[in-house]
C-alpha cells in the first residue's frame, strides 16, 4: 500500500509549519501583462501566477499596472502596504498554471526551501511518526529507514542546526532538493498527504 494513503488528515498543520493563516509573500512563477483571470470572472490586467512562501499554495495575483515583474521575484502580498500587487485573486490548481510556470516551479521551490532553511530544518528536528509503521520523514524522497533512524537518533543527542549540519552528521546530501521534490509531489497531487503544502 502507498505510504501516503494512511490518514490523509495528518497534514503539515500537525507540525506547526504554517505560522500564518494568510500568505505574506509569494514568488512569481509566470505573468502576463494583458490577461484574464482564471479564478475571478471579468478581472483582467497584469495576471501573475505565483507560489506562496509559507503555505506553498499556487496563487493567482493581480499586479499594479506599469510595474515591472521578474520570474522568481519575491513579492509582498500581505494585508498592509502592498506596492506591486493589487489583490490575491485566488488559489490555482497545478493543472491550470501555464507551461512556463510549471517549468519554473522546481527551481523556485528549491529557492524557497533554501530561503526558509531554519523552518525546514526545524521540521526535520521535530517530525513524528504518522502510524506505528510509517514515519513522516520516510515520505521525503531519498530518506529511507536507514537515514530516518540516523536522523532520529542524532537529533536526540543534539538538534540539527542547518542542512549542512544534517549532511555532515548523517551523510544525506542535497536535503533541500529532497524537501523541494516532496513539495512538488504535493503540489502536483502525486501524493495524498500534505507534509508541507497547505490544503
pLDDT grade for 192, boundaries at 50, 70 and 90: confident
The closest of 130, 125, 128 to 2, measured between CA atoms, is 130
Nearest to 93 by CA among 189, 174, 192, 194: 189
Rounded Cα gap, residues 71 and 60, in angstroms: 14
pLDDT band for position 199 (cuts 50, 70, 90): confident
The 10s digit of each residue's pLDDT in 12-43 is 333 334 445 678 999 999 999 999 999 999 99
pLDDT score for 155: 97
Q: Would you state the pLDDT for residue 21? A: 64
- Collapsing DSSP states into helix, strand and coil, what is residue 40? coil
- Residue 151: CA count within 13 A, CB half-sphere: 29
Q: What does the pLDDT look like over 72-124, one tens digit per residue?
A: 999 999 988 899 999 999 999 999 999 999 999 999 999 999 999 999 999 99
Report yes or no on whether pTM surpasses 0.85. yes
- Give 127-171 pLDDT, tens digit per residue: 999 999 899 999 999 999 999 999 999 999 999 999 999 999 999
Amino acid at each position: 500500500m502507498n505510504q501516503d494513503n494512511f490518514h490523509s488528515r495528518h497534514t503539515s498543520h500537525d507540525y506547526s509549519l504554517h505560522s500564518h493563516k494568510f500568505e505574506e509573500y509569494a514568488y512569481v512563477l509566470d505573468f502576463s501583462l494583458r490577461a484574464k483571470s482564471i479564478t475571478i470572472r471579468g478581472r483582467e490586467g497584469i495576471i501573475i501566477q505565483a507560489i506562496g512562501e509559507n503555505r506553498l499554495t499556487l496563487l493567482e495575483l493581480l499586479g499594479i499596472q506599469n510595474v515591472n515583474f521578474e520570474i522568481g521575484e519575491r513579492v509582498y502580498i500581505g494585508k498592509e502596504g502592498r506596492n506591486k500587487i493589487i489583490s490575491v485573486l485566488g488559489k490555482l490548481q497545478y493543472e491550470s498554471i501555464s507551461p512556463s510556470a510549471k517549468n519554473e516551479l522546481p527551481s523556485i521551490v528549491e529557492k524557497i526551501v533554501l530561503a526558509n532553511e531554519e523552518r525546514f530544518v526545524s521540521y526535520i528536528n521535530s517530525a513524528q511518526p504518522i502510524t506505528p509503521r510509517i514515519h513522516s520523514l520516510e515520505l521525503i524522497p531519498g530518506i529511507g529507514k536507514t537515514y530516518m533512524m540516523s536522523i532520529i537518533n542524532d537529533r536526540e543527542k543534539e538538534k540539527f542546526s542547518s542542512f549542512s549540519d544534517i549532511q555532515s552528521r548523517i551523510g544525506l546530501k542535497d536535503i533541500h532538493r529532497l524537501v523541494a521534490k516532496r513539495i512538488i509531489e504535493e503540489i502536483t497531487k502525486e501524493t495524498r498527504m500534505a507534509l508541507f503544502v497547505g490544503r
